[in-house]
C-alpha cells in the first residue's frame, strides 16, 4: 500500500482482493433486507388491485367487497392521492393508480391496506371493474400500423450509406429478432414506509435510485424533498429493474403511511412483480450491408425497432445506447442507423444490465456472422478485418477512440484459448457427426462508460473519522450485491493508510448524501469512489496541516501507511492522530463530490462524446447442439476482460462470471411470451427459465487484462457491472455456427432468433435446410 495519498487516477499496483463487505452476513443469514426489519404491531400490509385489460376505459369500479373483506383497513384510488399521481422518471406519463383509462394488463387500479399481506391479496381480487375495451397495440406490427411511438424515430449517420451500398461489390439483406428479459432479482420489489413528525415520512426501499424515489414520493404527497427520507442498506439483486420500477411500490407505501399515520409495507408477490414491472427491451433488426471479398464492411443501413411499452420510462436513453453500440469494436465508414421507438399496450420496458447496449451489439455481430457465412470465411477473420485502427478510429457519433485495445485482447485470447486448433477440430467433428453439431465463436466487447444523459454523471460522499480512529463512509451508491460498498471502502482505507476493517459502510440515505444519481450505467464505483476519495482527501489534508504544525515538520514529511502515521520524527497510530486532532479542534468530517469531466452530447444531432472511456472484453464460447431436439449445451468458455487497474480482482471476476451467465440466459433460455390480449404468460419460475448452475459452462476461465485506464478514474480502474453481459454474444454466434453446420454447403446464416430456445433452434435448422436446398 502506498504511504502517500495517491492522486486521483494514480495506480496502486497489485491491489489485493477483499471479500464483499457483507459476505459473512450473507452466508450466515444475518444480512438484513427490507423484509427482515422488525414489524411493529400496527403495520399495514398492502396489495395492488390490477387491470385485467391491456387498453380500456374504466367505466366503473365497485370496491365495496374489497373494503368489507376480512382484515382490510382501507382502500385507496387515484382520488385519494394528495398531489401528483405520478411515478414516472421523466415524462410524467405513468400514474401510481389508474384514473380513467388503463394502458397495460396488470396496471395498478387501487391499493388495499390490511392487517396482513394475505388479507390484502385476497381482498384485492374481490373488485368489480367494468371496462370499455379500446384498440390495443400489443405487437410491434400493431403499434407500427397505428403509428404509435413514444418519441420520433431517431437517425444517426456518417457518410452516404445509400451511395456506398450501391457501389459495393457485395450486398446482403437480413433481419432477425431478439427477445426481452425479466430481471428476476432474488429479492422482489418491496418498500416499508414509516410516518414521522410533522408529516415527514421515512422509506426503506429496495431501489437503485433513492433520490428519484424521494422526489417522486414528495411530489405525490405534496411535500418537499426534505420531508422524505429514503434508505437503502442493500438489495437482493436489481440489474436495472429497481432503477425506475421501485418508485411505484415506495409511493404506494408512503401514501398509506401518510394517510393512516401507521407504518405500511408492500412486498410484491413474484407473479405480480413480473406482470407489473418492466423488462429488457425486445428488438427487431433489419439491415442491408455492403462488403468486399475480404469481408470489409463498406456500407451499412441498420434499422432497430423496439416496442417500449405503455409509457416513456427510460426508453429514449436505452434506444440511444443501442445506437451507440451498433458499431461495437468495428469501424463503419458509411453508415445509417435508424431507431424506431414503438408505444405498445404492454408493461413499459425499462433499464436492464447493458441498457440497450447488448441489443445494438448483437445486431452488428449478427451482421458480421452473415457476411462471413456468405463469403465462406471464418467469422473471426471478418471481425479482425473490420476492427477500429489508426485512421479508422471515429465512431458513427463522432467520438474518437483513444484506447483501442480490442485487437491486442483478441489476439491474446485467440492464442490462449486455442481458437484456431479448436475450430478445425470442430469442423472435423461436425463432418463425422450427423446429429450433434458443434460451434465456436470469438466475439469482442467495447462498452461505453458514463450516463449518456450528461447531468447524471455526478456523485457525493460523506466521510467521518471518529476520535478512536474508526471511519464511517456514506455515499450515493446503492449495494445490490455488486460490491460497490467494499470498493469505496478500499479507496478510503488507501487514503488514510488503514486496514479495511477500520471502515464501516453505512446505508445509503437521502438525508446524508442528497441529489444522487442512480447506481447504474456501471458507474457506481467510478463516481462514488472518486467522491469518497475527495472527501477523505479533504480530511487527510487537515490532518497533515495539523501534524506538520504540531510536530514542526514540513507537510511532505507527514506520511500515512500500514505501519502508522509518520510526522517528522514522531510515529503515531492512526487512532492517536484522530484523538489528538479532535482535541486540537480539527474537523474530522467532510463531504466529497465528483462530476465526470470531458463529456458532452448533442442528442438532436446524435454527435459528441457521451462516454468518458470504454471497457473492453472478449470471449470464446464452444457449444453443442442436438439437431433432433434443438437442445444445446455450452461446453467451454474462455474470457479475457478489461477492468483497468482492478480495485478488487475477486469482486470483478465475480461480476464477469455473473454478467456472462445472465447474458447467456437472455440469448438462450429466457423467453417472455404475451398472449393476444396483452397478458404475460411467462410470469413465474414455472414458465420463465433463467439459467441455473447446470447451464454454467463445465469449463469457464476468466482472466483480467493487465492494463489500466487511459483516463484518470479512481486508481485507473474501469467499470465492470455491465460490459461482461455482452461477452455472452459469443454463445449466440457459436450456436449460429453449429446450426449452420447442418448444411455446410449453404452460403447463408441460419434464421435463428434470440433467445435460442429448442423450438427456435429446430425452426432455424429447418429454415436453414430449406434455404440450403433452394441454393
Q: Tell me which residue has cell 371493474.
A: 129
* Whole-number Å distance between alpha carbons of 426 and 679: 43
| Percent composition of the chain: helix, strand, coil (DSSP 3-state, to 5) | 35, 25, 40
Q: How many other C-beta atoms are found inside a 10 Å radius of the C-beta of residue 449? A: 25
Report DSSP state, residue 22. T
Report DSSP state, residue 455. G
> By C-alpha distance, which of 471, 606, 598 is closest to 540?
471
| Max CA separation in the chain (angstroms) | 90
Name the strands in the sheet holding 436-449, side by side, starting at the edge strand that comes first in the sequence: 436-449, 613-626, 632-641, 699-704
**722 in active site:** yes
Q: Tell me which residue has cell 482505507.
A: 493
Strand partners, 290: 171, 299
Strand partners, 561: 564
* Whole-number Å distance between alpha carbons of 464 and 414: 48
* Whole-number Å distance between alpha carbons of 739 and 734: 9
Tell me the DSSP string of 461-475: EEEEE-TTS-EEEEE
| Catalytic hit among 722, 745, 759, 771 | 722
Name the strands in the sheet holding 170-178, side by side, starting at the edge strand that comes first in the sequence: 154-158, 335-342, 297-307, 283-291, 170-178
* Whole-number Å distance between alpha carbons of 122 and 125: 6
* Whole-number Å distance between alpha carbons of 646 and 13: 9
Rounded to 10°, the helix 210-221/246-260 angle is 40
The 3-state DSSP class for residue 719 equals: coil
Using a 10 angstrom Cβ sphere, with 0-12 exposed, 13-18 middle and 19 or more buried, the burial of residue 675 is exposed
Q: How many other C-beta atoms are found inside a 10 Å radius of the C-beta of residue 156? A: 22
* Whole-number Å distance between alpha carbons of 574 and 495: 12
> By C-alpha distance, which of 447, 321, 400 is closest to 598?
400
Report DSSP state, residue 695. G
Strand partners, 46: 113
Residues annotated as catalytic (active site), given as ranges: 722
Amino acid at each position: 500500500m502506498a504511504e502517500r495519498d495517491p492522486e486521483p487516477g494514480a495506480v496502486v499496483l497489485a491491489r489485493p482482493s477483499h471479500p464483499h463487505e457483507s459476505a459473512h452476513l450473507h452466508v450466515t443469514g444475518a444480512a438484513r433486507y427490507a423484509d427482515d426489519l422488525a414489524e411493529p404491531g400496527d403495520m399495514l400490509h398492502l396489495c395492488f388491485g390490477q387491470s385485467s385489460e391491456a387498453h380500456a376505459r374504466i367505466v366503473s369500479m365497485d370496491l365495496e367487497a374489497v373494503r368489507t373483506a376480512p382484515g382490510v383497513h382501507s382502500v385507496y384510488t387515484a382520488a385519494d392521492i394528495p398531489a401528483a399521481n405520478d411515478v414516472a422518471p421523466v415524462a410524467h406519463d405513468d400514474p401510481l393508480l389508474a384514473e380513467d383509462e388503463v394502458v397495460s394488463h396488470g396496471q395498478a387500479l387501487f391499493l388495499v391496506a390490511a392487517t396482513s399481506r394475505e388479507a390484502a391479496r385476497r381482498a384485492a381480487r374481490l373488485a368489480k371493474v367494468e371496462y370499455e375495451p379500446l384498440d390495443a397495440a400489443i405487437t410491434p406490427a400493431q403499434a407500427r400500423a397505428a403509428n404509435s411511438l413514444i418519441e420520433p424515430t431517431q437517425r444517426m449517420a456518417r457518410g452516404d450509406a445509400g451511395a456506398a451500398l450501391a457501389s459495393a461489390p457485395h450486398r446482403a439483406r437480413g433481419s432477425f429478432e431478439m427477445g426481452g428479459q425479466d430481471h428476476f432479482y432474488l429479492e422482489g420489489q418491496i418498500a416499508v414506509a414509516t410516518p414521522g413528525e410533522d408529516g415527514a415520512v421515512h422509506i426503506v426501499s429496495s431501489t437503485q435510485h433513492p433520490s428519484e424515489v424521494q422526489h417522486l414520493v414528495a411530489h405525490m404527497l405534496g411535500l418537499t424533498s426534505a420531508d422524505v427520507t429514503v434508505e437503502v442498506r442493500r438489495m437482493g439483486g436489481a440489474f436495472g429493474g429497481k432503477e425506475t420500477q421501485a418508485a411505484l411500490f415506495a409511493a404506494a407505501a408512503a401514501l398509506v403511511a401518510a394517510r393512516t399515520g401507521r407504518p405500511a409495507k408492500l412486498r410484491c408477490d413474484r407473479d405480480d412483480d413480473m406482470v407489473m414491472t418492466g423488462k429488457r427491451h425486445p428488438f427487431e433488426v433489419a439491415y442491408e450491408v455492403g462488403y468486399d471479398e475480404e469481408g470489409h464492411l463498406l456500407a451499412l443501413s441498420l434499422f432497430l425497432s423496439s416496442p417500449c411499452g405503455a409509457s416513456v420510462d427510460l426508453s429514449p436513453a436505452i434506444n440511444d445506447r443501442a445506437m451507440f453500440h451498433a458499431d461495437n469494436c468495428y469501424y463503419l465508414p458509411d453508415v445509417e442507423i435508424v431507431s424506431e421507438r414503438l408505444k405498445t399496450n404492454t408493461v413499459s420496458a425499462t433499464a436492464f444490465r447493458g441498457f440497450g447496449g447488448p441489443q445494438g451489439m448483437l445486431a452488428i455481430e449478427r451482421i458480421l456472422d452473415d457476411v462471413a457465412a456468405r463469403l465462406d470465411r471464418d467469422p473471426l477473420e471478418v471481425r479482425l478485418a473490420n476492427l477500429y485502427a489508426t485512421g479508422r478510429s471515429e465512431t458513427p457519433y463522432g467520438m474518437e477512440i483513444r484506447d483501442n485495445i480490442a485487437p491486442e485482447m483478441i489476439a491474446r485470447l485467440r492464442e490462449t484459448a486455442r481458437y484456431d486448433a479448436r475450430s478445425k477440430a470442430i469442423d472435423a467433428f461436425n463432418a463425422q457427426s450427423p446429429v450433434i453439431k458443434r460451434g465456436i465463436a470469438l466475439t469482442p466487447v467495447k462498452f461505453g462508460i458514463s450516463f449518456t444523459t450528461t447531468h447524471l454523471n455526478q456523485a457525493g460522499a460523506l466521510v467521518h473519522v471518529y476520535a478512536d480512529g474508526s471511519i464511517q463512509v456514506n455515499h450515493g451508491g446503492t449495494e445490490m450485491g455488486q460490491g460497490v460498498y467494499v470498493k469505496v471502502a478500499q479507496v478510503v482505507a488507501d487514503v488514510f493508510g488503514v486496514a479495511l476493517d477500520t471502515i464501516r459502510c453505512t446505508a445509503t440515505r437521502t438525508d446524508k448524501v442528497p441529489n444522487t444519481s442512480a447506481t447504474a450505467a456501471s458507474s457506481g464505483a467510478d463516481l462514488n469512489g472518486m467522491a469518497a476519495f475527495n472527501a477523505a482527501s479533504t480530511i487527510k489534508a487537515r490532518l497533515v496541516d495539523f501534524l506538520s504544525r504540531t510536530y514542526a515538520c514540513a507537510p511532505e514529511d507527514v506520511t500515512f501507511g500500514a505501519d502508522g502515521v509518520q510526522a517528522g520524527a514522531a510515529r503515531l497510530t492512526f487512532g492517536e492522530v484522530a484523538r489528538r486532532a479532535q482535541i486540537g479542534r480539527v474537523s474530522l468530517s467532510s463531504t466529497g463530490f465528483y462530476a465526470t469531466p470531458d463529456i458532452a452530447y448533442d442528442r438532436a444531432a446524435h454527435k459528441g462524446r457521451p462516454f468518458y472511456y470504454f471497457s473492453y472484453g472478449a470471449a470464446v464460447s464452444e457449444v453443442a447442439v442436438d439437431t433432433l431436439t434443438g437442445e444445446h449445451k455450452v461446453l467451454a468458455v474462455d474470457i479475457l476482460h478489461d477492468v483497468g487497474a482492478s480495485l478488487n480482482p475477486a469482486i470483478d471476476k465475480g461480476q464477469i462470471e455473473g454478467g456472462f451467465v445472465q447474458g447467456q440466459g437472455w440469448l438462450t433460455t429466457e423467453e417472455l411470451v404475451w398472449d393476444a390480449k396483452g397478458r404475460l404468460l411467462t410470469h413465474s419460475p414455472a414458465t420463465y427459465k433463467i439459467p441455473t448452475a447446470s447451464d454454467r459452462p463445465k469449463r469457464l476461465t476468466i482472466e483480467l487484462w493487465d492494463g489500466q485506464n487511459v483516463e484518470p478514474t479512481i486508481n485507473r480502474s474501469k467499470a465492470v457491472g455491465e460490459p461482461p453481459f455482452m461477452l455472452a454474444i459469443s454463445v449466440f454466434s457459436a450456436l449460429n455456427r453449429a446450426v449452420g453446420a447442418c448444411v455446410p454447403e449453404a452460403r447463408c446464416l441460419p434464421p435463428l432468433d434470440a433467445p435460442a430456445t429448442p423450438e427456435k433452434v429446430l425452426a432455424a435448422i429447418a429454415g436453414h435446410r430449406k434455404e440450403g436446398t433452394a441454393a
